[in-house]
């Protein structure tokens, strides 16, 4: 989702990390939450623990 930079931050949708993982899992067709989390961490450049 690309937001308009003129939109105040208060109006942007908010989701928890867990909700984001579920969205990534569903839209990326990952078989498990762990695989979705791995994809998110790789995408964000964070080490997988």
Residue 27 lies in a domain: yes
Host domain of residue 40: 15-44
Residue 8 lies in a domain: no
Residue 25: count other Cβ atoms within 10 Å of its Cβ.
19
Residue 31 lies in a domain: yes
Cβ contacts of residue 24 below 8 Å, gap of 6+? 30, 36, 39, 40
> What pTM did the predictor assign?
0.64
Domain total in the chain:
1
| Helix extents (H) in the chain | 17-28, 33-44
What pLDDT shows up at residue 10?
62
Residue 2 lies in a domain: no
Residue 32 lies in a domain: yes
What pLDDT shows up at residue 23?
95
Residue 30 lies in a domain: yes
Residue 4 lies in a domain: no
What 3-state class would DSSP assign to 47? coil
What pLDDT, in 10s, does the model give residues 10-45?
Answer: 666 789 999 999 999 999 999 999 999 999 999 988
């Amino acid at each position: 989702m690309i937001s308009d930079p003129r939109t105040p931050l208060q109006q942007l949708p908010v989701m928890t990390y867990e909700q984001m993982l579920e969205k990534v899992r569903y839209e990326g067709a990952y078989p498990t939450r762990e695989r979705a989390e791995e994809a998110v961490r790789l995408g964000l450049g964070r080490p997988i623990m």
